[in-house]
Amino acid sequence: MSSTGPTEVGFAGLLRSVIPGTVREERFDLACGDRQLVVRVRRHPNARRLTLRVEPRSGDAVVTIPCRLAFREGLDLARRKQGWILARLARLPQPIALADGAALPVGGVPHPICHRPEARRGVWIENGALCVSGRREHMARRLTDWLRAEARRRISALAAEKAALLGRPLGRVTVRDTRSRWGSCSVRGDLSFCWRLVLAPDFVLDYVVAHEVAHLAEHNHGPRFWRTVDTLTSHAEAARAWLKRHGDELRRYG
Ligand SMILES: [Zn+2]
């Protein structure tokens, strides 16, 4: 980098160099009435204007700014829009604890959680209820482990079936708690999925797996890709609409 590259004075008064093509982020605390907000200002090379959003999971205010602006200008926007941020936060869906009596959807079907401390069976489904043995403080972890395993089992079977249909070799299939994407496909053919998809109706899971398997043949979202998706699932349109409408709800659990 040349020593005459552009510089910006950050909020803390430090001189920071701007590296073109990279996203830089600064965090600020903003007192908002009796609330303490976290404001994350991201300077993005492709940003054309200032945008503000509230991240549902963390409740952080995220301001994206173009490279020509200083981080404090992002903070100024958040300060001016405090009322809007607080209104958004008040409307956010509250998290649902994985506790006795709560209803947890599995394959889109609500299953009441039933604590059975005396049993020694781990987690199992009985008469439509999701039963959990052992100590109360371990219920959430046991249920999450079970859901992850269930997601891995269902997704692996679907992915293998669809990859065979497509005639493409399938790499590793993993599940994790991804924040922003429901699934991804690496250039090596490894697929990764968010375990929370096991909570969604089966047709949604079917579509997301079909989408990632289709990337084994087409590494883009062009017309040929979507035609391939349609050969692997008949639910693309309905599932995309469902995820748009209800996707955030899946992130409320646990
Ligand atoms: Zn895709």
Q: Which two tokens stand for residue 181?
A: 């994407």
- Is the Cβ–Cβ distance between 21 and 30 less than 8 Å? no
**Residue 64 Cα to chain centre, angstroms:** 19
Q: With 50 as the cut, is the pLDDT of residue 190 above it?
A: yes
Q: At what angle do helices 223-232 and 139-166 cross, to 10 degrees?
A: 110
Domain extent at residue 220: 103-250
- Same structural domain for residues 141 and 236? yes
Residue 96 in any domain: the answer is no
- Same structural domain for residues 119 and 230? yes
- Same structural domain for residues 187 and 237? yes
Q: From ligand 1's centre to the CA of 185, what distance in Å?
A: 8
Q: With 60 as the cut, is the pLDDT of residue 83 above it?
A: yes
Share of the chain above pLDDT 70, in %: 92
- Is the Cβ–Cβ distance between 253 and 104 less than 8 Å? yes
Residue 80 CA: distances (Å) to CA of 86, 153, 254: 12, 48, 33
Q: From ligand 1's centre to the CA of 99, what distance in Å?
A: 34
> What are residue 176's DSSP bridge partners?
194
Q: From ligand 1's centre to the CA of 64, what distance in Å?
A: 24
Of 37, 64, 91, the last residue of a domain is 91
- Is the Cβ–Cβ distance between 127 and 138 less than 8 Å? no
Give me the amino acid identity at 54. V
pLDDT one-digit tens code per residue, 105-146:
999 999 999 999 999 899 999 999 999 999 999 999 999 999
- Same structural domain for residues 151 and 125? yes
pLDDT one-digit tens code per residue, 13-36:
333 444 456 789 999 999 887 788
Q: Supply the mean pLDDT for the chain.
A: 89
Of 67, 91, 115, the last residue of a domain is 91
Q: From ligand 1's centre to the CA of 184, what distance in Å?
A: 7
